[in-house]
Structure 1
Amino acid sequence: MDDRVRDLRPDFAVLVIGAYGLRNGPSDERSRAWLAEAAAEAVPLDHEKIEAWRAAYRAFGAKPQRTRPSVDALIRRMPLPEINLVVDAYNAVSVRHALPVGGEDAGHYAGPARLVRAAGDEPSDEVLGEPEIGEVVWRDDLGVTCRRWNWRQCVRTRITEQTVDAVFLLERLEPMSIGELTGAGDELVNLLGQITPGVRTEIRLLA
């Protein structure tokens, strides 16, 4: 993680979950139930966890009313969208905990995921557009994979029904506790195990 990101928000932590051997597929009754249950428990939009992310966006010059933190945007989309089994699982965890969660297809990732302040010349796809200087972005060796911390993901690394190996990034700011963050990770691992019994997972906390 870029020290300049750490300086921006010393309370930031990310739980990184690798999942290997997934058998993804279209949304079904199980994943619809996960989404419905999470929607029923969604916090209000003025909740302190969401406000923390809006403040983080303002700190690097973004306007969160125009480019919203992912969990803010997701909670506004009721009923929650059905994408595929794996995406439904991590979206349910995101809404249940008011926690930004990103999912990346590890088969299309190049090198390690890293969180940096953009120089402004990083390669990026047409969906994302070019990052602004100082913007917080996730990237790999090929370029930007997610702009404005967790606002929008590139097309290349999206999780699809063909995804077999994936990396999930669960992003925490205070007032969320590390205990709740790791608990949310356990929930996601449980759901992935329901999708693919025997899936292999690895978990790392970066704080």
Structure 2
Amino acid sequence: MIVKLDDSLLQIEPTLKIGIIHYTKIVVTSSPQMLKGRLQLFQEQLFFELEEKAVTEFTGIKEWRALWKKFGADPNRYRPSVEALYRRIAKQNYITPMHSAVDLNNFFSLRYEIPMGIYDWKKIQGNVTLALGDEEKNYKGLNGRDNSLNHILTLSDETAPFGSPFVDSVRTAVTEETTDALQIVFLLPSMTIEESQKILESMGAMFTQIHGGDATSTLLIKDQNEWRI
């Protein structure tokens, strides 16, 4: 499989950085109490912070909203997934635990203030491209709706689109049957390469600590915009 960041995105935002982590031989289960407790505590602390600070004042959310506009989408209508999570927490509508992979993915998203996606490797068909969606790009999302991806950064395989920093599709969702996964980390353009790499290494280490298996990662950037896995 080749995962490629389309040149058109880099023309719009030359400092765009996309992290990729490939997990193999993992075991996805209901979340251990440690992860549930950590996710709950983080949300509770964030709720109190959100009483004093607007969602749009958080650095990561502010930066992704600006990037949304550069791509031509309306962040007030189609919010980056991390912003949607923060808005839920501001209403004390805390995230309900699902399973270890999704719960940890949400924890990473909240902690680093960035959108995240995790996908079942075996459900992805062929090579993957990250590019801007158009009016014809859509899929049934995990939010239970048919979602338009017009002007939204979109992950597509050789069959159809399956993911984005807005909402992911049902087709490639990770379940407790998943043994190999692809995690996409929508990093902040303002992050340095060194900082981005450290985040990917930290995520991979924590994920395999809980799920077992192995993790390999890379960073897609200008002049290094594809990875053969």
Note whether the superposition's TM-score is higher than 0.5. yes
Q: Which residue is equivalent to 1:204?
A: 218
Instruction: Work out the CA distance in 2 between the residues paired with 1:128 and 1:202.
Output: 32
Alignment of 1:16-27 (within 5 A): 16-27=20-31
Percent identical:
25
Indicate which of 29, 34, 37 corresponds to 1:30.
34
CA offsets per residue over residues 57-82 of structure 1, 9 Å max, x none? 11222211221101111222322331
Q: Which residue is equivalent to 2:85?
A: 74
1:77 alignment partner, SS class: helix
How far off is 1:123 after superposition? 6.5
Instruction: Work out the CA distance in 2 between the residues paired with 1:26 and 1:76.
Output: 25
Instruction: Work out the CA distance in 1 between the residues paired with 2:109 and 2:195.
Output: 12
Tell me which amino acid in the other structure corresponds to 1:161: E
Instruction: Work out the CA distance in 2 between the residues paired with 1:69 and 1:169.
Output: 14
How far off is 1:12 after superposition? 0.8
RMSD: 2.2
Instruction: Work out the CA distance in 1 between the residues paired with 2:74 and 2:41.
Output: 30
Instruction: Work out the CA distance in 1 between the residues paired with 2:152 and 2:102.
Output: 26
TM-score (norm 2): 0.79
Alignment of 1:177-196 (within 5 A): 177-196=192-211
Indicate which of 55, 58, 63 corresponds to 1:52.
63
Q: How many residues align?
A: 203
How far off is 1:24 after superposition? 0.4
Contact 2:118 2:174 in 1 (8 A): yes
Instruction: Work out the CA distance in 2 between the residues paired with 1:180 and 1:81.
Output: 30
Indicate which of 117, 122, 137 corresponds to 2:154.
137
2:88 alignment partner, SS class: coil
**1:118 to 2:133 alignment:** yes
Instruction: Work out the CA distance in 1 between the residues paired with 2:39 and 2:135.
Output: 36
How far off is 1:205 after superposition? 1.2
Contiguous gaps of at least 5 residues in structure 2: 222-229
How far off is 1:118 after superposition? 2.8
2:135 alignment partner, SS class: coil
Contiguous gaps of at least 5 residues in structure 1: none
TM-score (norm 1): 0.87
How far off is 1:2 after superposition? 1.4
Instruction: Work out the CA distance in 2 between the residues paired with 1:151 and 1:139.
Output: 14
Indicate which of 2, 5, 11 corresponds to 2:15.
11
How far off is 1:153 after superposition? 0.7
Instruction: Work out the CA distance in 2 between the residues paired with 1:17 and 1:56.
Output: 22
Contact 2:82 2:109 in 1 (8 A): yes
- Are the structure 2 counterparts of residues 72 and 180 from structure 1 closer, same or farther at C-alpha, using a change threshold of 3 Å? farther
How far off is 1:180 after superposition? 3.1
